[in-house]
Amino acid sequence: MLDPFHATTIISVRHNGQVAVCGDGQVTIGHTVAKNSAKKVRKVNQGRVLCGFAGTASDAFTIMELFEQHLEKYPSNLPKACVELAKEWRLDRRFRRLEAVLIASDASETFQISGSGDVLTPDDNVMAIGSGGVYALAAARALIRHAPKLKADQIAQESMKIAAEICLYTNDNLTLEVLDSK
């Protein structure tokens, strides 16, 4: 699926006992860089879930708020919280037009959630969104294959640096969050 969102790149990597979610800090308005240090990755659910978002800022914050409400209802069930978010996002008229994509990872699973109702899991423990997502994803897969001793945080950071070298809408001012994985 081609990601229509510019101005961000987010990657989740699960490898060697860790899960890491990393995002860049660039915000653009049109073809102008408006901010270099936005925080698009955070820990939620009392530090048990890592989230990263791409899309327009107000829409992404609205979806994050909604997601946190679902995590409160299902605190130990990330898949259920993700599915309930996707259902509400798609079916509720207030949220239907929000333009954002979310990645959520806990100690054992990773999901990509969108307003079209998609709740996707990666085949290979790596998932990326945003305009530089395909570059970060390719870099992470290569690093996992050719430098398998690296930890997830190292792979995520290096992948984001590579994406920042290629994608105009991605910078190397990174936010990284890490959990031990199962």
Nearest Cα to 75, choosing from 51, 50, 52, 49? 49
Within 8 A by CB and 6+ apart from 104, the residues are 49, 50, 51, 67, 78, 81, 82, 110, 111, 113
Cβ atoms of 21 and 50 closer than 8 Å: yes
Cβ atoms of 181 and 18 closer than 8 Å: yes
Cβ atoms of 135 and 163 closer than 8 Å: yes
Strand partners, 120: 112
Residue 56 catalytic? no
Active site residues per annotation: 8
